[in-house]
Amino acid sequence: DIQMTQSPTSLSASVGDRVTITCQASQDIGKYLNWYQQKPGKVPQLVIYDASTLQTGVPSRFSGSGYGTDFIFTISSLQPEDVATYYCQQCDSLPLIFGGGTKVEIK
């Protein structure tokens, strides 16, 4: 199985800060990396798919990049409503493993 290593496990940043989360795959997954947001007590929501494609309706302050084994998720200007746990997921091969998650909080 492909392993997904996400870092950091948590972070605290101020409103307006740039936030970066990394996700590393244990083998080459090409562009097949999704990012999900799960707000406290809520259902997960797709934010980015194919490493860098923004899901319809998601604010443009969210972005993703990377290819192969190393991927980055960025919030360009953190907003209070972005408080959530973010998960990467590889979708290159079964099983479709999720990363461990990154909890984002406001300082």
Which residues of the shown chain bind another protein in the complex (CB under 8 A)? 1, 32, 34, 36, 38, 43-46, 49-50, 55, 85, 87, 89, 91-101
In degrees to the nearest 10, what's the CA dihedral of 35, 38, 43, 44? 10
Shortest approach of another protein to residue 51 CB, angstroms?
A: 11
Compare residues 11 and 17 and give the one whose CB is closer to another protein: 11
Compare residues 17 and 92 and give the one whose CB is closer to another protein: 92
Shortest approach of another protein to residue 55 CB, angstroms?
A: 7
Type of residue at 59: P
Shortest approach of another protein to residue 98 CB, angstroms?
A: 4
Compare residues 82 and 89 and give the one whose CB is closer to another protein: 89
Dihedral sign from CA coordinates of 56, 71, 19, 86: positive
Compare residues 68 and 101 and give the one whose CB is closer to another protein: 101
> Any alpha helices (H) in the chain, and if so which ranges?
none
CA-to-CA distance for 39 and 84, rounded, in angstroms? 4
Shortest approach of another protein to residue 89 CB, angstroms?
A: 7
HEC secondary structure over 64-81: EEEECCEEEEEECCCCHH
